[in-house]
């Protein structure tokens, strides 16, 4: 009987350990964003990669001159959220949103988020915008905790910040798309300057605590 009980106990212990090992810890958006930043940093450092997509020396120089800092660890990360109750302010016509299906409204909101950083780079001129598109990168992953679209801005010392747009794709799938933010005025961003960048865009900004 003792031998039988010992076998049963051993089986239960093995099953318990297996169950614990199968539970993967949820990787945070912060960490997922760092994965994208690492890939973008590699792109920007590779002359072969950049030259594959542009022969324009001015555009190449934008990348080289603005991404030569240390991207190993951000100084600060800010979360930018487009307030749900203020999409109407961006649309400008309340009748439009009321006639949209839920799916079309979801697509619209995703495109609004995705376009915000593009607009900021466009303010810096066509060369900044073109340079930013060359070194974009993205990944997709499963995340069952996050339910909202959000932008993380990773700020590094004396080098171009990186914006990662996290979008809900359905079925717990999240896409993370990264873009460099080029422009001298964007170096060493603060919460105040970020709010100024998004002025009139109905966002909230707060630091991300890792």
Tens digits of residue pLDDT in 119-144: 999 999 999 999 999 999 999 999 98
pLDDT tens digit string along 129-184? 999 999 999 999 999 887 789 999 999 999 999 999 999 888 999 999 999 999 99
CA dihedral 48, 51, 153, 149 (to 10 degrees): -100
- How far apart CA 202 and CA 86 sit, in angstroms, is 6
90: nearest Cα among 76, 103, 79, 105: 105
Residue listed under structure tokens 């089986």: 11
Sequence-distant (6+) residues with CB within 8 A of 44 are 50, 63, 64, 67, 135, 180
Burial of 132 (0-12, 13-18, 19+ CB in 10 A): buried
Beta 203-207 vs 137-142: how paired, if at all?
Answer: unpaired
Average pLDDT over residues 34-42: 98
Rounded to an integer, the average pLDDT of 184-209 is 89
Q: What is the pLDDT of residues 65-105, one digit of tens each?
A: 999 999 999 999 999 988 765 555 555 555 555 677 878 87
pLDDT greater at residue 20 or residue 52: 52
Which residues, at least 6 apart from 21, have a Cβ–Cβ distance to it below 8 Å? none
């Amino acid at each position: 009987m003792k031998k039988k009980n010992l076998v049963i106990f051993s089986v239960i212990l093995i099953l318990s350990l297996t169950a614990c090992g199968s539970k993967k810890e949820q990787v945070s958006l912060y960490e997922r964003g760092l994965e994208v930043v690492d890939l973008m940093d590699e792109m920007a450092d590779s002359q072969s990669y950049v030259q594959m997509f542009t022969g324009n020396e001015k555009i190449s120089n934008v990348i080289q001159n603005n991404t030569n800092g240390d991207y190993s660890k951000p100084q600060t990360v800010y979360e930018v959220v487009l307030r749900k109750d203020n999409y109407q302010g961006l649309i400008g016509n309340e009748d439009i949103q009321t006639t949209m299906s839920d799916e079309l409204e979801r697509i619209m909101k995703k495109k609004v988020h995705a376009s915000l950083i593009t607009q900021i780079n466009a303010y810096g001129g066509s060369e900044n915008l073109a340079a930013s598109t060359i070194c974009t990168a993205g990944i997709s992953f499963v995340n069952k905790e996050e339910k909202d679209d959000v932008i993380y801005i990773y700020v590094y010392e004396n080098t171009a910040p990186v914006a990662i747009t996290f979008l809900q794709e359905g079925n717990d799938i999240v896409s993370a798309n990264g873009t460099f933010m080029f422009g001298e005025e964007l170096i060493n961003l603060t919460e105040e300057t970020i709010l100024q960048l998004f002025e009139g865009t109905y966002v909230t900004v707060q630091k991300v605590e890792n």
